[in-house]
Amino acid sequence: MTKRIWLLNGPNLNLLGQREPHIYGHATLADVEAMCQEVAARHGLELVCHQTNAEHQMIEWLQAARKDAGVVINPAGFSYHHVPVLDALKMVECPIVEVHISNVHRREAEWRSHTITTVAATGVISGLGIEGYRYGIEFLAARIAGTAR
């Protein structure tokens, strides 16, 4: 049976490549998903990709993913004040990798470094651009295979 991992993206990431490219780069969300599909396929994993600007939709996907093999999530704006998203993340029983394209600790506004969702994550990747997604999937693949150190 193929193991399923989820790639979930929060608000405004549908405009990746257009929105503030000096911060987030020129790659689109489609580019991210294609890269991640390639990595997942190499490891024999099924990858489910979604993006939403709606909190309730993110919560539904997290509930659906909770017993699967893993979640890579860029909660974006949900990271800061969205307690229902945090609560849904806490219900997820599989490993969670939280990804931020920019280094939230070096951003202009101090509040960006205070992500409430991080407490529910197995690990966090921040500031490595879209490569952070790749590393998140590689980590989950190793964890699933039992080779993570």
Query: Which residue numbers are catalytic?
Result: 24, 100
User: Rounded to 5 degrees, what are φ and ψ at 105?
Assistant: -85, -10
For the chain, the DSSP string reads --EEEEEEE-TTGGGTTTS-HHHH-S--HHHHHHHHHHHHHHTTEEEEEEE-S-HHHHHHHHHHHTTSSEEEEE-TTHHHH-HHHHHHHHH--S-EEEEESS-TTSSSSGGGG--SGGGG-SEEEESSTTHHHHHHHHHHHHHHHT---
Task: Name the nearest CA neighbour of 89 among 134, 55, 59.
Answer: 59
